[in-house]
Structure 1
């Protein structure tokens, strides 16, 4: 359903991209300040060697050491050339930009990726909720979920799913709120989101899809 679709699109192709980086070898050539690396080992569920691999890949794509939203959108457009991924990339960028300064540093990237790939179920669900809560006010509205769903369908492209009805995004939003909005007040809180997701076997399976892919 719509919830599984949202979760599975959190980090498309992450496993393939970083396996390619890993296969290049020679990890000892990676340069990174030991203080920063040691700190990130404490903040994430990655080892030093894994962080070195990630850092080399990050610096190859972003030599300046930070990513702005335009660069993020450009990178993401390569994953989904069949559609318009700009709006979804915008929402995802805001979730990675934890300092709200318009830039994603390697530290920001590594911490979020650690949650998506190696975090506990609760950590992953909290991160997903933050992604869907576009104005970060602590609840998800129908308008926010509609914007998210439209961004996903735009990204996937019409010719990828030619039989998809124009009403599909609304149907996914309706399904999301029917399942999540327990007290029927028109918004989904983090408590409702966590409670419902943790009781749903399909959602729990989706949350494990990216475990230990690096």
Structure 2
């Protein structure tokens, strides 16, 4: 499974404008591979939990924008991998450590788990899990950019600081490990952060607001094009 991310090698050091693209790829594909690994041969399966029963299928369709067949596939894989009906942070860390064995993915997995764990109870139900995937894969451009902003905004105060961005960028480089090519020097994550703020912090007050973030991203065709790549996934 480790070879699954080799296509990202040149993006990290070369394309500072592709940071959001890399983030979205890293957020989704290990989880997707994990679900694919849990697929069974059954064609149909009805949603029902023993320990943690999710909402009805029709309600989930309305909330997530996934079709009935897609939800059945997702639930089948989720149930196979998590018979208890919930995912905790340790499972996220295990998934990412298997996908990026040459690096330390624990911090990135922690940040991503927190982004999915919307009710902050330390575990993800099937509903929370598919809601997060839906925002990334099926949400409007506003939904996807809002998700990315909240991912960077660690303390959820409505602003992205350089310290918050640095934590995320460092976690990405730590996770990639020696697979980053060409090899990076210690200042590369900070250079990405500085580039991000030069682009996004329009009033130069040292923080990025959701308005600045949205406006800057929507004016950047590279970011918009990369975000639209998810329209054809799954």
Residue 150 (structure 2) pairs with residue 150 (structure 1): no
What CA deviation, in whole Å up to 9, does each residue of 1:24-58 have, x standing for no partner?
54232344379521110110110111101000111
1:177 corresponds, among 173, 197, 201, to: 197
How far off its partner does 1:6 sit? 2.5
Q: Which residue number in structure 2 is paired with residue 196 of structure 1?
A: 216
Count of aligned pairs between the two proteins: 213
C-alpha distance 64-21 of structure 1, shift in aligned 2 (>3 A): closer
Q: Secondary structure at the match of 1:104?
A: strand
C-alpha distance 54-81 of structure 1, shift in aligned 2 (>3 A): same
How far off its partner does 1:21 sit? 6.0
Matches within 5 A, 1:46-195: 46-161=66-181, 163-195=183-215
How far off its partner does 1:15 sit? 5.2
Separation of aligned partners in 2, 1:183 and 1:73: 37
Whether contact under 8 Å (2:54, 2:126) holds in the other structure is no
Whether contact under 8 Å (2:97, 2:104) holds in the other structure is yes
Q: Which residue number in structure 2 is paired with residue 10 of structure 1?
A: 27
Whether contact under 8 Å (1:3, 1:203) holds in the other structure is yes
What CA deviation, in whole Å up to 9, does each residue of 1:42-98 have, x standing for no partner?
101101111010001111111111111112211221111111100000000000001
Whether contact under 8 Å (2:108, 2:175) holds in the other structure is yes
Stretches (4+) displaced over 6 A: none
Separation of aligned partners in 1, 2:224 and 2:41: 34
Q: Secondary structure at the match of 1:123?
A: helix
2:44 corresponds, among 18, 28, 46, to: 28
Q: Secondary structure at the match of 2:124?
A: strand
Q: Which residue number in structure 2 is paired with residue 205 of structure 1?
A: 225
Unpaired segments ≥5 residues, structure 2:
1-15
What CA deviation, in whole Å up to 9, does each residue of 1:120-159 have, x standing for no partner?
1100000011111001111100000000000000000035
Whether contact under 8 Å (2:47, 2:57) holds in the other structure is no
Q: Could you state the TM-score of these two structures normalised by the residue count of structure 2? A: 0.84
Moved more, 25-34 or 125-134: 25-34
